């Protein structure tokens, strides 16, 4: 546990609502060596309330029942930890290390915290020692442009912007050109969160991608899909659409601290089969943290 250091503390902090509202009532069950069917049903209901998903809960309960039948006694918390780790391990994203100019495209529906995530990510990458350029590519919302400029000031990075209603592909091209000419390691591009139709979304993102590739043929190097943890599994359908049309490489789960259903990480991983790069656990610049399976499970079960 010492290896996880402050990361575990961040997950404990971020998952506190899930612990208090859903998992804390599990406490008396997790320390029992023998559970009757009524207690098993109570545990199953509480796990489902944490939004772990039917498949994961079925798997956990089947393991518990099997162990009870086999030996008559179990360690519920140890089994829960072991099975959750099996479900989420291997889904951490590869490190964010610069190699030339790297272009990161952030996508997701409006309201998920995409612009805030971009500002925090800019601060994090700059803190690792590399210059960052932010591109305000959501030109359909003046508030998004203004918000990014404020984040740019907070993070101490430059923001490339256009007028509201401007061409997102043109501003993406401009940002990539500036970054390459000045050998800036990171370009972070915000995009509009409108989801009128799948075809509309695909065409807009394809146009941005083509504009970027005129400057940097490999761009975008990574496409981060931003999801709001407070929506639970309700947001998965929209996430699937973005995943299908945007060439998503990584997930970012925001507002984990505001959700009583932090277990939604499990069905998201199961459904989308993409690595989670970061999770948001607060409003501060340093509250966007790398996803770590062990820290997540320990934080979730800290009841």
What DSSP element (H or E) covers 211?
Answer: helix 198-213
Task: Look at residues 16, 133, 95 and name the one whose alpha carbon lies nearest to residue 278.
Answer: 95
Burial class (CB in 10 A: 0-12, 13-18, 19+), 212: buried
Q: Please tell me the distance from the alpha carbon of residue 215 to that of residue 169, in angstroms, as a whole number.
A: 12
Write the Ramachandran bin of 53: left for phi over 0, alpha for psi from -120 to 50, otherwise beta.
left
CB neighbour list of residue 140: distance below 8 Å, 6 or more residues apart: 164, 165, 192, 194
- pLDDT at residue 16, as a whole number: 87
Of the chain, the end-to-end C-alpha distance in Å amounts to 16
Distances, alpha carbon 129 to alpha carbons 109, 151, 184, in Å: 30, 18, 11
Q: What is the pLDDT of residues 146-205, one digit of tens each?
A: 888 999 999 999 999 876 768 999 999 999 999 999 999 999 999 988 765 667 777 888
Largest CA distance in the chain: 68
- pLDDT at residue 103, as a whole number: 98
- pLDDT at residue 25, as a whole number: 83
* Residue 147 token pair: 């918000």
- pLDDT at residue 197, as a whole number: 63
**In terms of pLDDT, which residue wins out, 269 or 186?**
186
Average pLDDT, the chain: 88
Cβ neighbours of 73 (radius 10 Å): 11
- pLDDT at residue 283, as a whole number: 81
**In terms of pLDDT, which residue wins out, 79 or 23?**
79
* Residue 178 token pair: 């500036």
Q: What is the pLDDT of residues 3-50, one digit of tens each?
A: 456 788 888 888 888 888 777 888 889 888 999 999 999 999 989 888
pLDDT band for 78, please (50, 70, 90 cuts). very high
Q: Nearest 5°: phi and psi at 93?
A: -80, 160
Burial class (CB in 10 A: 0-12, 13-18, 19+), 254: buried
- pLDDT at residue 196, as a whole number: 55
Whole-number CA gyration radius for the chain: 21
């Amino acid at each position: 546990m010492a290896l996880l250091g402050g990361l575990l503390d961040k997950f404990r902090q971020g998952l506190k609502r899930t612990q208090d509202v859903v998992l804390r009532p599990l406490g008396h069950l997790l320390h029992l060596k023998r559970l009757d069917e009524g207690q098993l049903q109570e545990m199953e209901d509480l796990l489902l309330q944490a939004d772990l998903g039917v498949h994961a809960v079925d798997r956990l309960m089947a393991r518990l029942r099997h162990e009870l039948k086999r030996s008559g006694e179990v360690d519920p918390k140890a089994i829960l930890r072991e099975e959750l780790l099996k479900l989420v391990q291997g889904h951490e994203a590869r490190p964010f290390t610069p190699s030339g100019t790297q272009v990161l495209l952030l996508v997701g529906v409006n309201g998920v915290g995409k612009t805030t995530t971009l500002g925090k990510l800019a601060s994090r990458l700059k803190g690792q020692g590399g210059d960052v350029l932010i591109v305000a590519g959501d030109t359909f919302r003046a508030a998004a442009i203004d918000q990014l400029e404020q984040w740019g000031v907070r993070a101490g990075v430059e923001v490339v912007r256009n007028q509201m209603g401007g061409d997102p592909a043109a501003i993406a091209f401009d940002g990539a050109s500036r970054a390459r000419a000045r050998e800036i390691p990171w370009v972070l591009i915000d995009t509009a969160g409108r989801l009128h139709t799948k075809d509309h979304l695909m065409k807009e993102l394809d146009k941005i991608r083509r504009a970027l590739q005129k400057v940097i043929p490999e761009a975008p190097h990574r496409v981060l899909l931003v999801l709001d943890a407070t929506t639970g599994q309700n947001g998965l359908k929209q996430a699937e659409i973005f995943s299908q049309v945007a060439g998503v490489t990584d997930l970012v789960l925001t507002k984990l601290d505001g959700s009583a259903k932090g277990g939604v990480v499990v069905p998201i991983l199961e459904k989308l089969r993409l690595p989670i790069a970061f999770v948001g656990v607060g409003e501060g610049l340093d509250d966007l943290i790398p996803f770590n399976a062990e820290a997540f499970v320990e934080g979730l079960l800290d009841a």
